[in-house]
Amino acid sequence: MTDPHAIQPSALDQLPDRDPEETAEWQASLDAVAREAGPHRAAYLMRRTLERAEAGGIALPKLLETDYVNTIPTSAEPGLPGDPEMEARITAWNRWNAAAMVTRGAKHGVGGHIATFASAAWLYETGFNHFFKGKEGDGSGDQLYIQGHASPGIYA
C-alpha cells in the first residue's frame, strides 16, 4: 500500500546523484535537527526550505499530488447493501419510463433531455437507493437540487 504522506518519486530521481557527499551532509543535518530539536522543528525547516526554493524559481514536484491508488483490494470490498436484482429491475423501469416521458413531452415542445438523465442515472439511483434520506423521524430529510433537463428521469 502506498503511504499518502510519502514523497512520491519524480523522473529526476532516476538520475545518478552528482554529489553524494553533499546529499549525505544535507540528510545528516536534517537528522541532527530532528534528533536535537524534534520532528516538528525539522518539518518546519523543511517547509521553509521548500518555500525558499519555490520563491527562487526552483521547480519541485508537488508533494501532495499522487497517482490514484485503490487502498481497498477488491477481495476486501464489502458487498452493496440491498437487493441488487430488485434494484436492477427498478432501474430498468425508471429508465424506460424516463424515455417515454421525454419522448411524450417533446411532442408538444416541452420535454427534457434524456441524455442528461442517462449520463447521471447510476449516480442518482445509487443515491436514491442507498444514501438520500426522506423526511422521517426528527430529521428534515435531504434536499436535492436536480438539473432541470434531468428532471423527467428523476420524476419517472
CB–CB of 153/117 below 8 Å? yes
Distance in angstroms (rounded) separating the CA atoms of residues 97 and 103: 10
Query: By C-alpha distance, which of 89, 91, 94 is closest to 155?
Result: 94
pTM above 0.85, yes or no: no
Domain coordinates of the chain in residue numbers?
1-73, 84-155
Distance in angstroms (rounded) separating the CA atoms of residues 29 and 20: 14
User: What digits encode the pLDDT tens for the residues 12-51?
Assistant: 666 788 899 999 999 999 999 999 999 999 999 999 998 9
User: What digits encode the pLDDT tens for the residues 95-132?
Assistant: 888 788 777 777 766 556 677 777 778 888 888 888 88
Is residue 94 predicted with pLDDT exceeding 90?
no
Radius of gyration of the chain (CA): 27
For the chain, give the number of residues. Answer: 156
User: What digits encode the pLDDT tens for the residues 60-73?
Assistant: 766 556 667 778 88
